[in-house]
């Protein structure tokens, strides 16, 4: 009979070691010959598992010559299924901090529980001082509020492929409108949670901000997720959230004062950067909407100049004139 692939051997070895651990944890001595017969493997196989548990995992295993069996010499609460270096543990700590954008959603609780289960099986300890805890953080200006109830219901609607209804109040609207949506995707962008879905009454894919929702309900109406929808494709033409139906070639020139700050980031998958002799830099983007790019350019003040398209330049001209009037003494 051919040897099992290494992956299978490793999996079966872990399963055997877990069985050995459970027996020893319950206080029952373990005889290699008898246990090997129970599992229909060789005595040498069980001996190798025990040697690994003692020498590599650091478990308190000892051989009792009076009973010809192995025993735990001290209590073992959890089987150390994962071994990590200090660097690995720090990486895990950083990853846990990265969960902060999910706080307030059911996903956060599930992932936090997974982290807790994972770390409970670590061998040994890694010391963290208060300074270590302050070494890494994740923060965003204007972090959006999380509508946990809406998130939970919409996630269920997506998983069960059932339509959802909710009251939705658009910015600057006096009243909320009832929407019936087939949820396709939940995404965290621009510090806010959004739903992408098919608006049934408008027969179009729309993006909805969760904090603007209320009275989110799951219906009995089923739907099938379209095979041609992918989040990457949907947001390919968006600078942030607004994908749009247009096709704009954006050309912005940034002064030398901010050129390095522009060059050190990936703003969009379509971006092209062209350094200029005077230290300035030209940024080229291809977007489906002008809404977000206008706000973004305004954030750079006089350090940015839109060269194309003309309609974006016209919009910015009107906006900056209005701002000048507002701030005029």
Strands 281-287 and 272-275: what pairing? Answer: antiparallel
pLDDT tens digits, 40-76: 888 899 999 999 889 888 899 999 988 889 999 998 8
* Euclidean distance between CA atoms 17 and 172, whole angstroms: 62
Report residue 168's pLDDT band, with 50, 70 and 90 as the boundaries: very high
Region 117-143: what's the mean pLDDT?
57
pLDDT band at 319 (very low <50, low <70, confident <90, very high): very high
User: What are the structure tokens assigned to 24, written together?
Assistant: 């020893």
**pLDDT tens digits for 79-105?**
765 555 656 666 666 776 677 767 766
Looking at residue 172, the DSSP 8-state letter turns out to be T
Peptide bond into 309 cis (omega under 30): yes
**Percent share of the chain, pLDDT over 90:** 55
Global pTM? 0.65
């Amino acid at each position: 009979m051919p040897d099992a692939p290494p992956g299978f051997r490793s999996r079966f070895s872990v399963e055997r070691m877990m069985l050995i651990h459970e027996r020893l944890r319950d206080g029952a001595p373990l005889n290699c010959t008898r246990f090997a017969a129970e599992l229909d493997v060789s005595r040498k196989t069980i001996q190798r598992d025990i040697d690994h548990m003692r020498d590599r995992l650091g478990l308190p295993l000892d051989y009792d010559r009076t009973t010809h069996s192995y025993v735990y010499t001290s209590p073992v609460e959890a089987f150390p299924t994962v071994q990590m270096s200090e660097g690995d543990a720090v990486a895990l700590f950083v990853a846990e901090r990265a969960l902060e954008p999910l706080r307030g959603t059911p996903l956060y609780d599930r992932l936090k529980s997974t982290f807790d289960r994972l770390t409970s099986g670590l061998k040994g300890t890694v010391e963290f001082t208060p300074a270590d805890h302050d070494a890494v953080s994740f923060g965003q200006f204007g972090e959006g509020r999380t509508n946990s109830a809406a998130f939970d219901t919409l996630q269920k609607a997506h998983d069960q492929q059932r339509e959802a209804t909710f009251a939705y109040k658009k910015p600057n609207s006096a009243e909320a409108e009832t929407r019936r949506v087939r949820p396709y995707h939940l995404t965290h962008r621009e510090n806010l949670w959004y739903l992408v879905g098919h608006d049934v009454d408008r027969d179009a894919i729309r993006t909805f901000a969760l904090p603007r929702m209320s009275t989110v309900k799951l219906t009995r109406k089923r739907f099938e997720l379209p095979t041609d929808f992918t989040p990457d494709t949907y947001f390919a033409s968006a600078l942030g959230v607004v994908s749009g139906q247009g096709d704009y070639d954006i050309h912005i020139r940034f002064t030398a004062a901010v050129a390095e700050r522009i060059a050190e980031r990936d703003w969009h998958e379509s971006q092209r950067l062209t350094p200029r002799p005077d230290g300035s830099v030209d940024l080229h983007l291809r977007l489906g909407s002008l809404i977000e790019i206008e706000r973004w350019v305004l954030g750079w003040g006089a350090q940015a100049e839109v060269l194309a398209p003309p309609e974006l330049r016209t919009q910015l001209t009107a906006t900056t004139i209005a701002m000048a009037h507002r701030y005029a003494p």
